[in-house]
Chains A and B, each alone.
Chain A
Amino acid sequence: MLSVEGCLSTKAICVAQRFAADFSMFWEKKTRPVAEPPPFRPIEVPPPPPEVETIMTETKPKLANPSVAGSAHTLLGRTVMVHGQLAANEDLLIEGQFDGTINLEDHCLTVGTEGHVKAEVRARQVVILGSVTGNVAAREKVEIRRTGHVVGDLIAGTVAIEEGAYFKGSIDIARENESGVANEVAAPSALSSSA
Chain B
Amino acid sequence: MPATGRFQLESSLTKNQQEVSRASASSANTSRGLQWLWQHLSHLRHPHCFECGPIHQSTLDVLLLRGAKLYLSDLITPAQQTSSVYWSVSGKKQVFLIDKFMEQIPAIPPESLSTICCWGLLDLLPREVLPPLVERFHSFLQPGGVLFSILREPSVPKGVETRWWFESLTLLGSSDASQKPFPYPALTNREMERLFPGGNVKTFLTRSGRREVLGVRLP
A in complex with B: yes
Distance in Å from the Cβ of B107 to the closest Cβ of chain A? 8
Q: Are A193 and B69 in contact (CB under 8 A)?
A: yes
Assess whether A165 is interfacial by the CB under 8 Å rule.
yes
Distance in Å from the Cβ of B119 to the closest Cβ of chain A? 16
Chain A residue with the shortest CB-CB distance to B103: A168
| B-side interface residues, number (CB < 8 Å) | 24
Given contacts A170-B106, A175-B1, contact A161 B60 (CB under 8 A): yes
A163, A175, A176, A195: residue with the most chain B Cβ atoms closer than 10 Å = A195
Q: Complex formed: what's the CA distance from A176 to B54 in Å?
A: 29
**In chain B between 62 and 95, which residues have their CB closer than 8 angstroms to a CB of chain A?**
64-65, 67, 69-74
Q: Are A169 and B72 in contact (CB under 8 A)?
A: yes
Q: Are A167 and B67 in contact (CB under 8 A)?
A: no
Assess whether B208 is interfacial by the CB under 8 Å rule.
no
Residues of the B chain whose Cβ atoms lie less than 8 Å from the Cβ of A158: 64
How would residues 101 to 135 of chain B score, 1 for a CB under 8 Å from any chain A CB and 0 otherwise?
00010101100100000000000000000000000
Residues of the A chain whose Cβ atoms lie less than 8 Å from the Cβ of B4: none
How would residues 141 to 174 of chain A score, 1 for a CB under 8 Å from any chain B CB and 0 otherwise?
0000000000000000011111101111111110
Q: Are B64 and A171 in contact (CB under 8 A)?
A: yes
Q: Complex formed: what's the CA distance from A163 to B54 in Å?
A: 8
Sample 12 A-B pairs with CB under 8 A, ordered by A number: A161-B55, A162-B57, A163-B57, A167-B72, A168-B73, A168-B104, A169-B71, A169-B73, A171-B64, A172-B70, A173-B65, A195-B46
Task: List 3 A-B pairs, minimum CB-CB distance, nearest first.
Answer: A42-B57, A168-B73, A171-B70
